[in-house]
Amino acid sequence: MTIDIISVVPDLLNGPFSHSIMKRAQEKELLKVNVINLREYTTYARAQVDDYPFGGGAGMVLMIEPLVNAVEALTKEKIYDEVIFLTPDGNTLNQQMANQLSLKNNLLLICGHYKGIDQRFRDHFVTKEISIGDYVLSGGELAAAVLTDAIGRLIPGVLNDETSALSDSFQDNLLAPPVYTRPEVFRDWKVPDVLMSGNHKLIEEWRFDQSIKRTQERRPDLLDDLKK
């Protein structure tokens, strides 16, 4: 899968894909992340990409021309399954959306900045609008990094058996159960006996019960979704 990300601050995206699972996914050539500098696609002086909003008001708006220049240049090379604009007024990201997007071949992510992007670009080029939560970030880059990570780790072959996404929280609308590792006793805090029993059936049952309990306590809304 290829994820191309258009940004006015491409350096912000240097770190997130250069380590750990995202790095390995790229080394295995299961994922390719390209960060594209929007300023390379403007025809305005001094690499200008934003301007004052018509009608007045605070903040700057990303202009449509550089965005369209960038998208049209990129679509000469490949066809995108989705052009996704990261924005606080988009649909809130969840595991189901990440699962669906992980099945695509080519995604183009657009990071907004300042007060947003010209609505005409959203109307004519964007196919999905995604928010990563009900709070406002300074730009879409961190949101694009979150989305790319959530999708990238689900691509078949990226995770091994030990880190399998199947046991993640949310995969079955349940939160993950608690986990423990060595030492078996720290201070006087002991690991639950069942985990030391070697009885895999009992351990699975315990984990399932713990998942249900944790979900009931922390996210009862997820159980309501299950009943629908």
Query: How far is the CA of 147 from the CAs of 23, 112, 133, 164, 170, in angstroms?
Result: 15, 14, 11, 18, 15
Q: By CB under 6 A, what part of segment 117-176 binds ligand ADE?
A: 131-133, 135-137, 140, 143
Residue with tokens 């406002």: 136
Compute the distance between CA of residue 43 and CA of residue 34 in angstroms, rounded to an integer. Answer: 22
Q: Give residue number: closest CB to ligand ADE.
A: 143
Compute the distance between CA of residue 162 and CA of residue 151 in angstroms, rounded to an integer. Answer: 18
Q: By CB under 6 A, what part of segment 15-54 binds ligand ADE?
A: none
Q: How many residues bind ligand ADE (CB under 6 A)?
A: 12
We find the least distance from the C-beta atom of residue 89 to ligand ADE, in angstroms, to be 9
We find the least distance from the C-beta atom of residue 138 to ligand ADE, in angstroms, to be 7
CB-based contact 192:181 (threshold 8 Å): no
Helices in the chain by DSSP H: which ranges? 20-27, 64-77, 95-101, 119-124, 141-152, 200-218, 220-227
Compute the distance between CA of residue 64 and CA of residue 49 in angstroms, rounded to an integer. Answer: 9
Contact letters (x/-) for ligand ADE, 79-98, by CB under 6 A? Answer: -------xxx----------
Question: Is residue 59 close enough to count as binding ligand ADE by CB under 6 A?
Answer: no
We find the least distance from the C-beta atom of residue 65 to ligand ADE, in angstroms, to be 21
Output 143 or 174, the one with its CB closest to ligand ADE: 143
| Residues near ligand ADE, by CB under 6 A | 86-88, 112, 131-133, 135-137, 140, 143
